[in-house]
């Protein structure tokens, strides 16, 4: 009996999303559309260096990572700066590339750097590809994680 040939794959029009998890009161699954509609958009032009392909120039738009994470209710004492300074974020891409930031890098009382979760790159919507981390203060591109699938937030617990 001859096998039917597989159905043609449906075109990849599914909206990409990422899981926002960790020590948060309200874990969430967010699409690029959620990021666009739920928070104020910021625009930035960046240049970063790539070890293999040299300087890259891009424009990005999207909400501040800080505001999106605050929306999930991270389990820190909001008025306690020392407590907030113990939190970390881990950002993972679809290919497994991942990186960490400290909460203090993006906290307005500490580094206050405008790290974005991009909804557009070079005027292209990222809805099907997924959001990209934008770290304007970084000299190199390694933390510009594309196709984000997961953002984890939590406190560093001192061993022992």
Ligand X SMILES: Nc1nc2c(c(=O)[nH]1)N[C@H]1C(S)=C(S)[C@@H](COP(=O)(O)O)O[C@H]1N2
Binding site residues, ligand X, CB under 6 A: 50, 53, 56, 58, 93, 95, 97, 141-142, 144-147
Q: What is the largest CA-CA distance in the chain?
A: 70
Positions 82 through 101 that interact with Mo ion (CB under 5 A) = none
Q: Are 69 and 78 in contact (CB under 8 A)?
A: no
Between 107 and 119, name the residue whose CB sits nearer to ligand X: 119
From Mo ion, ligand X, none, interface partner of 97 (C-beta below 5 to 8 A by class): ligand X
Q: How far is the CB of 59 from ligand X (least distance, A)?
A: 11
141 near Mo ion (CB under 5 A): yes
Alpha-carbon distance of 44 to 145, in angstroms, equals 16
Q: In this structure, are residues 130 and 118 in contact, taking their beta carbons and an 8 Å threshold?
A: no
- Identify the three-state secondary structure at position 130: coil
- By CB under 5 A, residue 47 contacts Mo ion: no
Q: Which residues bind Mo ion (CB under 5 A)?
A: 50-51, 141
């Amino acid at each position: 009996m001859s096998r039917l040939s597989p159905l043609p794959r449906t075109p990849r029009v599914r909206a990409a999303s990422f899981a926002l998890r960790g020590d948060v009161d309200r874990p969430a699954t967010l699409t690029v559309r959620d990021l666009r509609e739920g928070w104020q958009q910021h625009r930035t032009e960046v240049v970063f260096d790539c070890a293999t392909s040299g300087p890259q120039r891009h424009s990005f738009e999207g909400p501040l990572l800080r505001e999106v994470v605050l929306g999930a209710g991270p389990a820190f004492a909001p008025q306690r700066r020392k407590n907030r300074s113990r939190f970390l974020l881990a950002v993972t891409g679809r290919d497994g590339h991942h990186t960490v930031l400290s909460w203090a890098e993006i906290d307005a009382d500490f580094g206050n750097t405008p790290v974005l979760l991009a909804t557009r790159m070079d005027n292209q919507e990222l809805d099907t590809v997924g959001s990209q981390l934008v770290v304007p203060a970084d000299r190199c591109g390694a933390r510009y994680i594309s196709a984000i699938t997961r953002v984890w937030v939590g406190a560093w617990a001192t061993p022992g």
